Structure 1
Amino acid sequence: MSVSGVTVIDRTIHETNFWLRRIMDRLKTDDQQRAFSVLRVVLHIIRDCLPTEHAVQFSNHLPMLIRGLYYEGWRPSHELRVAREHALGILETELGPFAHDLSDIEEMVTAVIDTILDGIDESSGEKLIRMLPPSLQKLWLTGNPDP
């Protein structure tokens, strides 16, 4: 059934809802707004930790609607990009309202990273993991011993 009457828009809405359901399943929640907010925060941290060229290349693997979310508010020439060593601290601050403790934050980040990796090819996923700050790599590797 067409929602918008435009195939490409319907497809990206479907893909976005699929990603949100995957995150919701991983977080064991029915709260789609929470899944969306967590996805947004983690995507922005990933984007801001990657070199500009890699951030743009990575976005090509995202569904169109999620790609727009990824680019929301991005200023690639802005000098206050996220320092790799501060990524986890920023995630703790941004995701804090959705968490009871640090393990919840780790679970949220892992849920989003696993969903991203499920949606992209294996070599791109491995490349993404290698480019993430060590604190985020550790979160992903904790639940996935074979990157």
Structure 2
Amino acid sequence: MRAWLHTFRDRLTVDVAAHVAAQLPELLRGVYYDGWNPSAVPIKYDRDGYVNRFAQEAKIAPEDVPRTAAAVTSVVREHFSPGALESAVEQLPHGIRDVLLQPAA
């Protein structure tokens, strides 16, 4: 969950990241903001950069990232207002969107 929140957050603009945070339950909001440097975002990375960063932070193999990220996305979606997560995801490059929104296996 932490890896998902941080890799997602750091690819967003400050405004969109703050909007996402407002949708999260308080405990997850604390995890989301942990270590955040708003003056250093958005960090520009493509699908491969996203996968590698997620894998490193989650301490999983890169080939496990799509399945893991999609599963976390489906859980996180339950805490958002309808359409709010999709609106934030639209700010990302298509390759990253595909990882986040693919059907969880």
Instruction: Name the TM tier (shorter chain).
Output: 0.7 to 0.9
* C-alpha deviation, 1:127, in angstroms: 0.1
Instruction: Quote the residue 1:75 is aligned against.
Output: 37
* C-alpha deviation, 1:113, in angstroms: 1.0
1:12-54 CA deviation, whole Å, 9 max, x = no partner? xxxxxxxxxxxxxxxxxxxxxxxxxxx0011001110000111
Instruction: Quote the residue 1:64 is aligned against.
Output: 26
The structure with the largest alpha-carbon Rg is 1
Residues 124 and 89 (structure 1), Cα distance of their counterparts in 2 relative to 1, 3 Å cut:
same
Q: Which has the higher contact order (CA 8 A, sep 6+)?
A: 2
In 2, Cα distance between the equivalents of 1:84 and 1:48? 10
In 1, Cα distance between the equivalents of 2:14 and 2:6? 13
In 2, Cα distance between the equivalents of 1:87 and 1:133? 10
In 2, Cα distance between the equivalents of 1:76 and 1:66? 18
Instruction: Quote the residue 2:17 is aligned against.
Output: 55
* C-alpha deviation, 1:125, in angstroms: 2.1
Q: Does 1:129 align with 2:89?
A: yes
* C-alpha deviation, 1:135, in angstroms: 2.3
Q: Does 1:91 align with 2:70?
A: no
Q: Normalized against structure 1, the TM-score is what?
A: 0.61
In 2, Cα distance between the equivalents of 1:133 and 1:87? 10
Q: Does 1:108 align with 2:71?
A: no
Instruction: Quote the residue 1:6 is aligned against.
Output: none
1:89 maps to a residue whose letter is N
- Residue identity (%): 26
Structure 2: state its 5+ residue gaps.
Answer: none
Q: Does 1:42 align with 2:7?
A: no
1:57 maps to a residue whose letter is H
1:82 maps to a residue whose letter is I
**Contact kept? 1:45, 1:82, Cα under 8 Å:** no
* RMSD over aligned Cα atoms: 1.9
**How many equivalent residue pairs?**
102
Structure 1: state its 5+ residue gaps.
Answer: 1-38
In 2, Cα distance between the equivalents of 1:44 and 1:132? 14
